[in-house]
Amino acid sequence: MDIPQIDKKAKLKIDDVVPMVEEIPLSEKKSILMFVMGTVVMILVVTVVLVVGYVFINQTKPKNEVAVVSPSPVPTEVPKITLDKSAVVFEVLNGSGVKGAGAAGRSKIQALGYEVPMMGNATGKHVGTELYLSDSVILQKELLLDDLKADYPNIVYVGELKDSTVSARLIIGK
């Protein structure tokens, strides 16, 4: 028996074979597409549910916070401001243009218990009675106004007294 000889340089028959592409039927393509789409939708739904659940649980979960209880403030008595007439030194000025109004005002203020070392005429005409106070007696402003209202019902506080050695200036106007 003879052994057949093989040409080692010969082209193989397998190289001539054209691979056949299998055509997937349309119904199977639709099934694969539906499976992929369903899987993607299911992953999205699960993700949304997990995120919403996480947010909801973290908002309603009681936090381990320690409440700091500060002691309630003890009511302290506010010191009542009293009128210290010895600390108020007046200057009375006549701004009405009526002769003797300054002297009459000085007598009224002294009768209330205040010291009035200075008296004179105001520059210009003034309407109504004006009160100026220095920083040293400004806390007693309301008490002073109340004390002077019996004699001067239209008295008004005008402002801070800066250019005098006295603590209060009263200008008596028309």
- CATH number for the domain spanning 152: value is 3.30.70
56 inside domain: yes
**In which domain, by residue range, is 116 found?**
85-172
Higher pLDDT, 125 or 157: 157
Which band of pLDDT confidence, cut at 50, 70 and 90, is reported for residue 65? low
92 inside domain: yes
Closest CA to 168 of 138, 143, 147: 138
Residue 60 has pLDDT above 80, yes or no: no
Which band of pLDDT confidence, cut at 50, 70 and 90, is reported for residue 76? confident
pTM of the model: 0.55
Are 121 and 155 within one domain? yes
Are 49 and 90 within one domain? no
Are 105 and 42 within one domain? no
* Number of compact structural domains in the chain: 2
Interatomic CA distance for residues 116 and 129, integer angstroms: 16
Are 56 and 110 within one domain? no
Interatomic CA distance for residues 141 and 157, integer angstroms: 8
Residue 61 has pLDDT above 60, yes or no: no
